[in-house]
Chains A and B, each alone.
Chain A
Amino acid sequence: MIYLLLFLEFLKIGLFAIGGGLSTLPFLYQLSGKYGWFSTSELTNMIAISESTPGPLGANMATYVGYHTAGIGGSFFANLGLVLPSLIIVIIICQFLSRFNENTKVQNAFNGLRPAVVGLITAVAISLIRIAIFTGSNSDLLGALDIKALVLFAIMLPMIFIFKRHPVFYIAIAAVFGIICKL
């Protein structure tokens, strides 16, 4: 039964996450709240692992979540659900490829869809910041603020915008900072 649930949940992600990469993030974020299969900070860890290991984030999450809920079989069924919509839809699209691209309805739909995806991912980004620089569930916002994490954030963000290095570079720096400063 858990196999079927994993399969169906990741089928939904495979069907509705458009634009690749981070577009799976809003779905995964909601999944963590819905079933408690993983926590939001585990999701952040997973993004870091995904950026530092081979393969797409969505597939990595499917493997990770599947393993934690139902072992290797869970990983398999989560991945199966994730890729099945791609397989079917892309093969159908291949039959009338040129017409699909030029269709104005399709183009209009994407003009509306793209900013919505950006909005959804921005919402996740805000949650990720909250998790990264606030500790625990302290209702007093200022009291829960983790000063060391805030300092790291204030250094990290401009660095990324200025230097444009590979994500692994920043992840490594942040890990070292975390260990040294006992974050």
Chain B
Amino acid sequence: MQLRQLLEIIWTFMKIGTLTFGGGYSMLPMLHRETVENQHWLDENKLADYFALSQCLPGLIAVNMAVLIGYQQKKTAGAVAAIFGVIFPSFVVILIIAMLLSNYIHIAAVASAFAGIRVAVASLVIYSVYGMFKKGVKDWFTFAIFVVALLLMLLFDVSPILVIIGAAVVGILIGQKRAYR
């Protein structure tokens, strides 16, 4: 019985992992169909709560969602099963691509294709960043943090870890100062 439930968690998250392209936000529709509509593990509100929480916590959103839902179903074993399920399909696919790519990248047409693709990726990243900017940068204070983080990374090659810790500390200090006013 225990094993059957764990296998069910693995299978459900394998489906989600296989049919989610690009990770993150794009997994929400699949998550909804599998965990809310098919399995009835949770309702819409809880899914939205979990998704919001997953974005705030360290790590990949997909993995955080897997841990939250897996843990709710079958504690730590369920969480591990869900992580395995959601990662495994991409693990296999990328492994195959990694093995093949080094053989084909030297072909002129493949190299040209990737040169074009790099332009598309740069554009796609700009588009995503624009969306994040609108959400995260709301006033002069958040804009200042944005600029400082950008310059630290771009010009001074400061570790992102330090920037993130520093920004969190600044956020707490400013928040406290505002509360006293």
Contact = CB atoms under 8 A, between A and B. Distances in A.
Interface string B83-125: 1001101110111011101000000110011111111111111
A41 B118 CA distance: 8
B48 interface: no
Contact residue range for chain B? 35 or more
Q: Per DSSP, are chain B's interface residues mostly helix, strand or loop, or mixed?
A: helix
Contact of A174 (B95, B119, B135): B119
Contact residue range for chain A? 35 or more
Interface string A54-69: 1111111001100110
B119 A152 contact: yes
Given A18-B56, A63-B98, A109-B172, A149 B79 contact: no
Interface of B: 17-25, 27, 53-64, 67-68, 71-72, 76, 79-80, 83, 86-87, 89-91, 93-95, 97-99, 101, 108-109, 112-130, 132-133, 135-137, 142-143, 145-154, 157, 159-161, 163-172, 174-176, 179
Given A57-B24, A64-B98, A183-B115, 18 more contacts: A54-B90, A55-B90, A56-B63, A64-B94, A67-B99, A86-B57, A94-B68, A94-B72, A104-B179, A112-B169, A112-B171, A116-B148, A119-B150, A120-B150, A122-B146, A122-B150, A128-B122, A175-B114
Closest 4 CB pairs of A and B: A112-B171, A55-B90, A178-B116, A108-B175
Interface of A: 12, 14-22, 24-27, 30, 33, 41, 44-45, 47-60, 63-64, 67-68, 72, 75, 79, 82-83, 85-87, 89-91, 93-94, 97, 100-101, 104-129, 131-133, 149, 152-153, 156-157, 160-161, 166-168, 170-171, 173-179, 181-183
